[in-house]
């Protein structure tokens, strides 16, 4: 993703859907998750902030899911513009940052960053998709207990039936037992984009191409409704990368994800001194 030039102009909260969408479309594959959430069921709990360059043109966009636990914080565009938004418009205490290495460098004086997780954004379209045949079946709300059992989610953390009803999930069964599944994080037909996620095969049944079969089934279903499908995969997960590549997915960019904790008070101004002295950073009081 191209990084815009230095931004010193105004920052503001933004609520206009078309203004937000127009910026996200400048790199729709990088912004796949954000575009998916733009018209999603939780859109009322999403805050957006924008920075403009010296000529008044949009240069940066920040998206934050509001909630009680660390929520996704998506950064796009000029890194210094994202920092300006986080300095005055969107100021989460704790968040799960999703962006590039340059974005993280720009916000280090505002946030203490945990260990990074390197991710690949892989994408596929109708021309590059290579189906992988298999007896995957479409899952419904009636399969939610089996799905939560496969994902090893407890009663309190389990997915509600709405996740399957509103998304697209396919699974593989062996002697009636659900042993592999894949689904979606977001689908936005209006923006012609969807995001695959929650790909899981039970450890006892790996090595049989079940993950390819269920991911292929989900991808084929989605490409009947949208033009681009994206997913994230750990950059060092070679078997998963190979499986997605077999289906026609290609790497669009590399992302960095990690937890971020807002630095308290004026400590950010003392960052160079404290790091030189190796004095630990204080956490903002809860």
121 phi, psi to nearest 5 deg:
-90, 110
- Which residues is 191 bridged to in the sheet? none
Q: How does pLDDT run across 178-233, given as a tens digit for each residue?
A: 999 999 999 999 999 999 999 999 999 999 999 999 999 999 999 999 999 999 99
Among 32-46, 150-164, 201-215, 258-272, the range scoring the smallest mean pLDDT is: 258-272
Number of H helices, E strands in the chain: 9, 13
pLDDT value of position 67: 85
Beta carbons within 8 Å of 237's beta carbon, 6+ residues apart: none
pLDDT value of position 69: 80
Nearest CA among 42, 72, 39 for reference residue 188: 39
Maximum separation of any 2 CA atoms in the chain, in Å: 64
- As given in the structure block, the two tokens for residue 229 are 């499908």
User: Quick check: 273 pLDDT over 50?
Assistant: no
Q: How does pLDDT run across 117-134, given as a tens digit for each residue?
A: 999 999 999 999 999 999
User: Quick check: 282 pLDDT over 60?
Assistant: no
**CATH numbers and ranges of domains, the chain:** 11-118+256-277 (3.40.630), 129-248 (3.40.630.30)
pLDDT value of position 272: 47
Higher pLDDT, 208 or 155: 208
User: Residue 91 in contact with residue 114, Cβ under 8 Å?
Assistant: no
Packed helices 210-223 and 238-246: angle between N→C axes, nearest 10 degrees: 50
Long-range contacts made by residues 137-141, C-beta under 8 angstroms, separation at least 24? 137/170, 137/171, 137/172, 137/173, 138/168, 138/169, 138/170, 138/217, 138/221, 139/164, 139/169, 139/170, 139/171, 139/181, 139/183, 140/164, 140/165, 141/165
Burial of 16 (0-12, 13-18, 19+ CB in 10 A): exposed
pLDDT confidence tier of residue 108, bands split at 50, 70 and 90: very high
User: Residue 76 in contact with residue 60, Cβ under 8 Å?
Assistant: yes
pLDDT value of position 285: 33
How far is the CA of 33 from the CAs of 72, 124, 186, 214, 244, in angstroms? 10, 14, 7, 21, 18
Burial of 190 (0-12, 13-18, 19+ CB in 10 A): exposed
pLDDT value of position 156: 54
Mean pLDDT (the chain) is 90
Beta carbons within 8 Å of 45's beta carbon, 6+ residues apart: 65, 66, 67
User: Residue 219 in contact with residue 82, Cβ under 8 Å?
Assistant: no
User: Residue 146 in contact with residue 270, Cβ under 8 Å?
Assistant: no
pLDDT value of position 28: 98
């Amino acid at each position: 993703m191209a990084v815009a030039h230095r931004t010193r102009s105004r920052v503001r909260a933004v609520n206009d859907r078309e203004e937000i969408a127009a910026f996200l479309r400048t790199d729709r594959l990088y912004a796949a998750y954000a575009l998916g959430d733009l018209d999603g069921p939780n859109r009322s709990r999403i805050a957006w902030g924008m920075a403009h360059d010296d000529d008044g043109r949009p240069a940066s966009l920040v998206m934050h899911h509001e909630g009680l636990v660390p929520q996704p914080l998506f950064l796009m565009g000029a890194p210094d513009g994202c920092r300006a938004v986080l300095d005055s418009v969107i100021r989460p205490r704790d968040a799960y940052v999703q962006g590039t290495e340059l974005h993280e460098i720009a916000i280090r004086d505002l946030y203490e960053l945990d260990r990074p997780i390197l991710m690949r954004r892989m994408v596929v379209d109708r021309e590059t998709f290579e189906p992988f045949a298999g007896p995957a079946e479409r899952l419904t709300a009636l399969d939610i207990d089996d799905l939560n059992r496969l994902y090893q989610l407890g009663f309190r953390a389990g997915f509600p039936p709405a996740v399957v009803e509103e998304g697209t999930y396919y699974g593989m069964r062996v002697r009636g037992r659900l042993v592999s599944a894949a689904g979606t994080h977001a689908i936005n037909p209006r923006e012609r984009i969807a995001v695959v996620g929650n790909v899981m095969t039970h450890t006892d049944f790996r090595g049989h191409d079940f993950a390819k079969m269920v991911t292929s089934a989900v991808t084929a279903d989605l490409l009947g409704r949208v033009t681009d499908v994206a997913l994230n995969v750990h950059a060092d997960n070679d078997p998963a990368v190979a499986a997605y590549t077999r289906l026609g997915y290609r790497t669009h960019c590399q992302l960095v994800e990690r937890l971020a904790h807002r630095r308290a008070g004026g400590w950010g101004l003392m960052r160079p001194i404290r790091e030189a002295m190796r004095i630990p950073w204080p956490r903002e009081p809860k």
